[in-house]
Amino acid sequence: MNANHIRVLVVDDSAVVRKLISDALAVDPEIEVVGTAVDPYVARDKIVALAPHVLTLDLEMPRMDGLTFLRILMEQHPLPVVVLSSLTRSGSDQALEALRLGAVDVLGKPGGPYSFGDMGPQLVAKVKAAAIARLHPLRATNPAPPVLSAIRPLNSGGARGPLGSPCALILLGASTGGTEALRDVLTRLPGGLPPIAIVQHIPALFSRAFADRLDQLCAFRVREARDGDLLEPGHAFVAPGNFHLLVSLQGGQYRARVIDGPPVWHQRPAVDVLFKSAVDAGAGPQVIAGVLTGMGKDGAEGLLRLREHGASTFGQDEASCVVYGMPRVAWENGAAQQQVALERIPDYICHQLELADASHATLARVSP
């Protein structure tokens, strides 16, 4: 055993899936599968005996279900966990609950002919991200109340200017740890904001459940984006898993474009694709864009282009990130104007919108 390897314990009741996971991880020389477990009781003993750095965890197992085990694990012996969940609505809901309980990331389980196919490299990437993840305390089920803000509601009286203008837009991108970070941010924002477009690196089918859960918790509507959607104020749009989300300006209003296309930075959807499309659509000073927790570089190039065109840009700070990867690159390349702690991001967004509104009002008074 190599002391520098990432030590992984595979927990799954299926012998076939355990072998598939083990084989997929064995391809990478930096990862070592130190053991497997058929259920949480066996896993408990092997955690003590083998001291793994990361667990992969099935959620449907005999004797004790994965969610119960995860809850106990995070309370008594916190470890980075990558959840493998079935690609169904029930499986998606369970996976989101696992992320709330402290799992670092989620991946769809192999099905059909029992082959990981393209999912093998994704599993390797998620395990590597989990190995350097900063674990955070369990989030509360009930979100905090929206932040107080002096922003005028966009749907009252037809207010115009940067907040009421079709050019006002909020763009957010995240990866590892992002589902809960976005939940923390969005549930504390007030209603009546400009449209919000979101890219979260998330598997296909899970994105719909993610958007639906946010829709139940937020002060505005949240849904999975569809091609051609009008990006209206008071709405947030989540990129569908395995599709890129872009924005285009048509008739003075933003619309969503949902397309296939090659992965960017090994991701589809990719944050850079969204950010760069906003620049191509004429986004400027009335746009606020930020990169949240995540592994890799996605979003940094697009965020820099947005800043160069006058947008307000930020990155989540290191202390509050699960993985300080994407925000770090965005800070180092000059794309992020500020680094902001997760709990301060809602206030930051509202403050930037208020500054834009004040600036527009000043310009309106001095214009002939």
Does residue 225 contact residue 235 with C-beta atoms inside 8 Å?
Answer: no
Q: Supply the DSSP symbol for 344.
A: G
Helices (H), the chain: 15-26, 40-50, 66-76, 89-101, 119-131, 161-164, 178-186, 206-217, 271-280, 300-308, 326-332, 345-366
> Which of helix, strand or coil describes residue 18?
helix
Q: Strand pairing partners for 198? A: 172, 238
What is the DSSP pairing of strand 196-200 with strand 235-238? parallel
- The terminus-to-terminus CA distance of the chain in angstroms comes to 75
Between CA 217 and CA 207 the distance in angstroms is 16
256: nearest Cα among 236, 272, 241: 236
List Cβ neighbours of 322 (8 Å cut-off, separation of 6 or more).
104, 133, 134, 135, 136, 176, 177, 181, 293
Q: How far is CA 91 from CA 106, 110, 211, 283, 285, in A?
A: 11, 13, 15, 38, 41
DSSP string, 197-254: EEEE---TTHHHHHHHHHHHHSSSEEEE--TT-B--TTEEEEPPTTSEEEEEEETTEE
For the chain, what is the largest distance between any 2 Cα atoms, rounded to a whole number of angstroms? 77
List Cβ neighbours of 319 (8 Å cut-off, separation of 6 or more).
341
Active site residues: 175, 201, 298
